[in-house]
Structures are given as C-alpha cells and as structure tokens.
A = this chain, B = another copy of it.
Amino acid sequence: MKAAIVGSTGYGGVELIRLIQNHPYLEPEVLISSSQPGEPLARAYPHLIHLSCSFEQLDMERLCTADLIFFATPPGVSGAWAPALVEQGKVVIDLSGDFRLDSPDTYQEWYKRPAAPAKWLEQAVYGLSEWFHDQIQTASLIANPGCYPTAALLALAPLLKEGIIPPSSIIIDAKSGVTGAGRGVKQAMLYCEVNENLRPYKLDGHQHIPEIERFASLIAQENITVSFVPHLVPMNRGILVTIYADNMNNYTRADVREIYRQTYEAAPFVRIHENGWPETKFVQGSNYCDIGYHVDERTGRIMVLAAIDNLMKGAAGQAVQNANIRMGWPEETGLGFSPLFP
C-alpha cells in the first residue's frame, strides 16, 4: 500500500520514513516537504544516502496517488488539507494537534489560531491505540495523540476508569528529550544551550493540557483538571511522565498491579514494571510504553510513571500502529523490533 508523508523534513517525518521503509505492507511513495521541495532526501538527511528519492511540493493530485496519508506538520496544515483527502476516500493519520480537540474554541485558545471545521473535529478519531482501538478500525481521519498525552493517558487511564483517583488531584511532571522540540532552528535549541542543562518551560500553559484533560475526562466519565509542567532534558529521545494523584480508597500495591495487569494484558506495546521503574532508555527506538507505579502509604498518594520514545509511541510509531489497526494488519507489523540499547 502506498503511503504519503507530508512534512517529511521534520524529525517525526523522517521517523515515519524509517518505519514505513521497514514495513512489509507499506511503501513510502510520496514525500512532501513545503520547505525544501525538489531537494534530495539524502541532502537533508545524509543518514539516508542509500535512498534516491526527493521531496515534493504539497499538491493534492500527487497526494492522491497514495492510499494512506500521514501528516507530520506544524499546526494548521492538516486542518486545511485533510478534509478534502478524506472526502476523496483516503485514510489520513494526522500527527499534528489539528484534530485532537473537539471544541474549536479550546483549539483557538491553546493553539492561538483558528481550528479546522467543527464537523471534522467531531469526525476525527483519537488514535490512542490501546483505548480507541475499535473506533480506529473504521476511522478515515485519525488524530494521532501528542507525545505527552500518550504517556500521561496510558499511565492514568486505568486508574481513571477504575475511579480511584479524585478528579482534581492529578499532577503531571513531564520530562522530554529534545527531539520533541522539532528540527526548527532556534537559539534555545542549540547544542551548547541544552547540553548539561535541565529546563522547565511553558508553566503558563502547554497545548497538550486540553488534550490530556479531554480524554482523561472521557475515560473517567467526569471532569478532570490536571497540573502539567514539562521539562527539557539533555537527550535526544524519550519522555518520562511522573504522575501524582490521591489514593482515594487506600488501594494497595496489589490492587494497583491487578488494575494495570488486566487493562494491558493484551496490549502488545504496553509493558508493566513490577520491579523498579521505567527509564526512557528501556524504550529507545521502540514503540513500547513502559509503566511503573508506587503506592505511597506515608502520604496517601499514588505515583505512576510512564516512559515512551517520543518519536515512536509518541509520534511515528503509534501512527504506524494505528495504520496497522485501521488496515486490519497485526498490530505489531513493522514495529516488532526491540529497543536500541544502550
């Protein structure tokens, strides 16, 4: 099956190329880059010097030669292009935030730009593979989750569904590697500024907050508000979220273990750590989400941790997982390799 990637020059785009190239049923047929059309892939990415293709301009007709279209683009691009593609019968998997929120006003508030048409916001299916599997199977427009929301929701959802943490007690302290910031050229992302440094940012509001709250609320069946502080960690890949919540009914470690075990026993990409806690290196280069927890009797809180590779389960990996689910292929197709260690 032919795949197109819009936004191939970003880190998410090039990770999609890596995965699709290695996928038995997908072929990276069209590589779109608005910023560098005509440029050989090997010039932008010399690690792919063995490939001879070039980037192309964003063009509707060309896009339609593919069956499956991935958007790994800045806000606004998929919002403008995806609806027409879906209307032409294409399947669109959007790695940007354009279709993750259902309220145009909320989108406008957090993304500081107009939302896609409300009709399409409603129609889009949220691609958190483990929790919206059935809807993804028939979706035409899949809103692939953000990196932080993927980690946070996979960690929180079992507790929320069980109803054991109060809706206003959730604090998410999040840490991300630097690929999360993309390949944009900014002084703050220079090697010397990031290396040997730990940087908190966007304490006054990260656009992943409404996404987390929307789906946490949906799963909990009540209104969830979260505190969320992201930090930039000097490493290329990896997200770790450390989540704190009140332990409403004194659930024990055994209770919590059972909740996670049951929830994810059939999920090929979620691994629960009973001994020790997840580290980002445990998932490097893979599609796994590793989860660990601590039931703290001293303070009456539960801490849950989740680690993902932000470019994999947090972006391109989950997008391919969703493509597999949508196309009826085994969920692990093209994703069955182990993490790169060390």
Measured CB to CB, the residues of A under 8 A from B are: 11, 14, 17-18, 21-22, 43, 45-50, 168, 171, 173, 175, 177-179, 183, 185-187, 189-201, 203-205, 225-227, 229, 231, 233-238, 240, 242, 244, 271, 273, 275-286, 288, 290, 292, 294, 296, 298-299, 301, 303, 305, 307, 336-342
Contact = CB atoms under 8 A, between A and B. Distances in A.
Query: How many copies of this kind of chain does the complex include?
Result: 4
Contacts of A342: 11, 179, 192-193, 195-197, 236
**Most-contacted residue by chain B among A183, A195, A273, A275 (CB, 10 A):** A195
A31 B242 CA distance: 34
A269 to B, nearest CB: 9
A284 B341 CA distance: 12
A226 B190 contact: no
A196 B198 contact: no
A183 B191 contact: no
A206 to B, nearest CB: 12
A340 B200 contact: no
B187 A235 contact: no
Contact of A282 (B46, B178, B195): B46
A275 B40 CA distance: 13
B168 A235 contact: no
A197 B238 contact: yes
A303 B189 contact: no
A178 B199 contact: no
Contact of A301 (B227, B235, B290): B227
Contact of A285 (B17, B285, B288): B285
Contact of A196 (B185, B235, B276): B235
A193 B179 CA distance: 10
Given A18-B341, A46-B276, A196-B281, 13 more contacts: A22-B336, A47-B284, A49-B282, A171-B171, A173-B229, A179-B342, A183-B190, A195-B342, A196-B236, A199-B280, A200-B240, A225-B298, A233-B234
